[in-house]
Amino acid sequence: MTPESNFAKNSAFTFSIVFSCVLAYWFGSKRPDKVSLLSTTPLSSVDTKGPKHNTSPTNLEACWTDMVSIVDKEHVSTEEGDLQSHSGSDWSSYTTKDSERPFMIVSPSTTEEVSEIMKVCHTRKIPVTGYSGGTSLEGHFSATRGGICVDFSRMDKILKLHKEDLDVIVQPALGWELLNEELGKEGLFFPPDPGPGAMIGGMVGTGCSGTNAYRYGTMRDWVLSLTVVLADGTVIKTRQRPRKSSAGYDLTRMFIGSEGTLGLVTEATLKITVKPKHESVAVTSFGTIREAAECVSRVVGEGVPIAAVEILDDVQMRCINESGSTSRTWKEVPTLFFKFSGTQSAVKESIGLVQKLAKSKGSKSFDFAKDADEAAELWSARKEALWSVMAKRRDESDHVWTTDVAVPISRLPDIIEETKEDMASSGLLAAMVGHVGDGNFHAILLFNDKERETAEAVVHRMVKRAVEMEGTVTGEHGVGLIKRDYLAHEMGETTVDAMRKLKQAFDPLCLLNCDKIVRVQKAKAGEVQPW
């Protein structure tokens, strides 16, 4: 062999080594799962172009044909009115953009059908948003990436009541009010009580609660097991029916409050309890909101057994009084609504204790129900809060903003007083109402497009105040699109990055309610308000 040919051979060899290395490096740098070595998914590590969905008209039309073969034509809708009502509502704080509508709505009737739907969407890379009662408030079901909306309305049954075990298996579109009507016939009861019209699927979605949470806890405490369809159509059941279990990760709770971002709930096994034998309601009014809030701290601190306590400020009471939606008139001053339950004598005793504590905090009046009808009548005023503010809309351009935060109970008088002053000086019609026994309260603001920035600023300051008092940016309504960028302030950037990792693990294509709870793409300049 000549030295030249040897040299040629060597350089060819070197070249091929270098070339393969460069090629391997290039392929390596293209692989998106390079970040999977990290324990969290910081936003800086995700593809700036965002999730790769395919919502081209041809793909969506082909998907329509697939959906029709799964659920039948009559259960697939592309009607404008349906698309609109399934992407936003009048009572939501978020104003849905025209581009945030689904392409079609599909109504399955079984878990198997939901799984088939997800398999198609997974193959076709089409985004999916779940929809149950549509009463959520923070833009939870806006179809930010288009795609399809899975409406659970045909899955609305009680599947099995285990009276002796105090549990019930239900479908996602069963309303909590209807469930309680049925359970009531057996002397039983399911405590979580969010907005009228809310359904189990959405209640799991938001991890809701309500007036009963003070005594009974939230949705997180009342779900034993869930059947969930994952993003690729896989069906899982989180566990069986015993009241307790130490068997591994608590996937049930992981799905509660996940807002349809990790899977679609198609069945839930719920705990139920025995309906209290006797209930009563008392209403007491104060000169200032601070006195009312301090009264709550006292009652809670003294451990008086109450079932619920709600605060309504003067503005809220004025809206209720003026709406005339209850059969009596109301003083337009800060008011506490107490609910009591138990035996007749225990209830009587608790009412007496609360009356004494209220008086010591300067209460101006104290009324309590003489019978069940009066109790229902008094309590109905509380239920009218949001509607009575909405009734104040000056014209069609007015929107409502309903928001909620929660703080440790000892900080409640401070945050309520400061927020109240802020709301009053904003010049907006702004009412305050809340489940104060848990340190949780809501603000309901009325605003038009010119006043939007003022409203946003009031909400922003309220959220900031809650975080600074070691509270949470949402006690029960959830994150949706509006509270997303606040999460890092409440629990830290790395915690949100861990949540993003969880989202990615269960739904790598970001098909399920993409953009909710955590961002999967960096915010545009100016999109996030400075803290």
Ligand X SMILES: *[C@@H]1O[C@H](CO)[C@@H](O)[C@H](O)[C@H]1NC(C)=O
Ligand Y SMILES: Cc1cc2nc3c(=O)[nH]c(=O)nc-3n(C[C@H](O)[C@H](O)[C@H](O)COP(=O)(O)OP(=O)(O)OC[C@H]3O[C@@H](n4cnc5c(N)ncnc54)[C@H](O)[C@@H]3O)c2cc1C
Q: Which residues bind ligand X (CB under 6 A)?
A: 321-322, 329, 331-332
Report strand pairing: 104-106 vs 148-151. parallel
Separation of alpha carbons 88 and 154, rounded Å: 20
Q: Which does 331 bind (CB under 5 to 8 A by kind): ligand X, ligand Y, none?
A: ligand X
To ligand Y, the closest distance from the beta carbon of 273 in angstroms equals 19
Smaller CB distance to ligand Y: residue 114 or 357? 114
With CB under 5 to 8 Å by kind, the binding choice for 321 among ligand Y, ligand X, none is ligand X
Residue type at 296?
V
Half-sphere exposure of 101 (CA within 13 A, CB side): 15
What does 122 interact with, of ligand X, ligand Y, none (CB < 5 to 8 A by kind)? none
Chain position carrying tokens 């699927």: 201
Asked if residues 263 and 231 have their Cβ atoms less than 8 Å apart, the reply is yes
Nearer to ligand Y, 306 or 357 (CB): 306
What does 131 bind: ligand X, ligand Y, none (CB cut-off 5 to 8 Å by kind)? ligand Y
Cβ count within 10 A of residue 230: 18
Closer of 258 and 363 to ligand Y (Cβ): 258
CA 148 to mean position of chain CA atoms? 20
**Nearest approach, Cβ of residue 89 and ligand Y (Å):** 8
Q: Closer CB to ligand Y, residue 264 or residue 317?
A: 264
Find the shortest distance in angstroms from Cβ 197 to ligand Y.
6
Instruction: Determine the Cα–Cα distance for residues 109 and 115; give it in Å rounded to an integer.
Output: 11
Burial of 446 from C-beta contacts in 10 A (0-12 / 13-18 / 19+): buried
Closest separation between CB of residue 370 and ligand Y, Å?
27
Residue 147: CB minimum distance to ligand Y, A:
12
User: Six-digit token pair at 420?
Assistant: 């109240």
* Residue 225 DSSP code: E
Tell me the C-alpha distance between 285 and 364, whole Å.
5
Please say whether the beta carbons of 148 and 121 come within 8 A. Answer: yes
Closest residue to ligand Y, judged by C-beta, is 202
Q: Residue with CB nearest ligand X?
A: 321
Chosen from ligand X, ligand Y, none, partner binding at 486 (C-beta under 5 to 8 Å by type): none
List of residues contacting ligand Y (CB under 6 A): 91, 129-137, 140-141, 152, 172, 194-195, 198-199, 201-203, 205-206, 208-210, 259-260, 264-265, 386, 476-477, 513, 516
Please choose which of ligand X, ligand Y, none residue 332 contacts, taking the beta carbon within 5 to 8 angstroms, the exact cut-off set by kind. ligand X
User: Which of 213, 201, 269 has its CA nearest to residue 241?
Assistant: 269
Whose tokens are 């288009």? That residue is 146
Picked from ligand Y, ligand X, none, the partner binding residue 521 (CB below 5 to 8 A depending on kind) is none
Closest CB to ligand Y among 289 and 386?
Answer: 386
Contacted by 322, from ligand X, ligand Y, none: CB < 5 to 8 Å by type? ligand X
Q: What is the C-alpha separation between 74 and 19, in angstroms, rounded? A: 58
Q: How far is the CB of 251 from ligand Y (least distance, A)?
A: 14
CA quadruple 215, 218, 220, 226: dihedral, nearest 10? 110
What's the rounded Cα separation, in Å, for the pair 414 and 419? Answer: 8
Task: For residue 399, give the H/E element and its range.
Answer: strand 399-406
The residue (of 129 and 335) whose beta carbon lies closer to ligand X is 335
Q: Which is nearer to ligand X, 335 or 402 (CB)?
A: 335
Tell the smallest beta-carbon distance from residue 407 to ligand Y (Å): 17
Toward ligand X, which CB reaches closer, 119 or 392?
392
